[in-house]
Amino acid sequence: DAGITQSPRHKVTETGTPVTLRCHQTENHRYMYWYRQDPGHGLRLIHYSYGVKDTDKGEVSDGYSVSRSKTEDFLLTLESATSSQTSVYFCAIKVGVGEETQYFGPGTRLLVL
Amino acid sequence: AQSVTQLDSQVPVFEEAPVELRCNYSSSVSVYLFWYVQYPNQGLQLLLKYLSGSTLVESINGFEAEFNKSQTSFHLRKPSVHISDTAEYFCAVSEDSGTYKYIFGTGTRLKVLA
């Protein structure tokens, strides 16, 4: 258990509405990541953060924004949700110096109607 | 560009039989390699990893994987599977670039049959 929580765990929303997913860690790790998981695609990186207010895009960042105003929280926002953003979203953290390993949160299931 | 290929989307195998799940990657720089397991309706759990040193790495539940640089592979093996090994397995690669970003394969569903 790497001390990662995600909220909400499940959400149903309508097309065009804004949605914010939260990832919270308790151990002050610098690197945090947001992925989406879709059948046939595995996990794909949306955005990542390497410190407070330091973020960068991943391979599927269109339609998503992120913010990190404090070390423990990394927020993923869908400004105007679309049905193509129906997915399972995972947050991950990289643990330790010289330790290249990511540990994952429990995931958020998002359904956009 | 970095990429990961898991050629087998599904692998059915009988209980107590051996299994190999294949993973190939492409990269022009040094890499770190990982296998994660996902049980139904759960998150991803680290199964094993190769960072450096011995090319053969093992997990606590009997899986092993071998880093083969010449063949750019990191296949996962288990000599005797159990029903409880039924899950989806993901291979991931991270380049030694300082961002620690992963590229994942598309996953292999292992179905262990009684």
Cβ–Cβ contact B82 with A under 8 A: no
A52: tokens are 């407070």
Would you kindly state where each structural domain of chain B is located, as residue ranges?
Answer: 3-113
Cβ–Cβ < 8 Å for B106, B9: yes
The CB-side HSE value for B37 (13 A sphere, CA atoms) comes to 14
Cβ–Cβ contact A88 with B under 8 A: no
As a whole-number percent, the residues of chain A with pLDDT over 70 amount to 96
**Which residues from chain A sit within 8 angstroms of residue B109, using beta carbons?**
none
Mean pLDDT by 10 residues, chain B (114 residues): 89 97 89 93 92 88 93 96 96 83 94 96
To the nearest whole Å, the CA of A32 is away from the closest chain B CA by 10
Cβ–Cβ < 8 Å for B20, B8: no
**Which residues from chain B sit within 8 angstroms of residue A104, using beta carbons?**
36, 43-45
Cβ–Cβ < 8 Å for B60, B50: no
**Which residues from chain B sit within 8 angstroms of residue A44, using beta carbons?**
104
The CATH number assigned to the domain holding A16 equals 2.60.40.10
pLDDT at position A2 = 67
Cβ–Cβ contact A44 with B under 8 A: yes
Count how many domains chain A has. Answer: 1
- Beta strand pairing status for B108-113 and B10-14? parallel
B107 and A102 in contact by Cβ < 8 A?
no
Q: Which residues contact A50 (CB under 8 A, 6 or more apart)?
A: A30, A31, A56, B99
What gap in Å lies between CA B59 and CA B71, rounded to an integer? 22
pLDDT at position B8 = 94
Q: Mark residue B101 as left, alpha or beta (left: phi above 0; alpha: psi -120 to 50; beta: remaining).
A: beta
Q: What CATH number was assigned to the domain covering residues B3-113?
A: 2.60.40.10
**Which residues from chain A sit within 8 angstroms of residue B90, using beta carbons?**
42-43
Q: How many beta-carbon pairs below 8 A join chains A and B?
A: 50
Residue A100 pLDDT exceeds 90: no
| 3-state SS track over A16-59 | CCCEEEEEEECCCCCCEEEEEEECCCEEEEEEEEEECCEEEECC
Cross-chain CB nearest to B104 (options A43, A103, A107)? A43
- 3-state DSSP assignment of residue B63: coil
pLDDT at position B27 = 83
Mutate which: A38, A101, A108, A109, vs B, most B CBs within 10 A: A101
Average pLDDT over residues A6-16: 97
Round the average pLDDT of chain A to a whole number and report it: 93
pLDDT category at A28 given cuts 50, 70, 90 is confident
Closest residue in A to B96 (Cα–Cα): A100
- Beta strand pairing status for A19-25 and A4-7? antiparallel
Q: What is the pLDDT of residues A30-75, one digit of tens each?
A: 999 999 999 989 999 999 999 999 999 999 999 999 999 999 999 9
Question: What is the helix, strand, coil percentage profile of chain A, to 5?
Answer: 5, 60, 40
* Torsion angle, alpha carbons of A100, A105, A106, A111, to 10: -110
A100 and B106 in contact by Cβ < 8 A?
no
Cβ–Cβ contact B101 with A under 8 A: yes
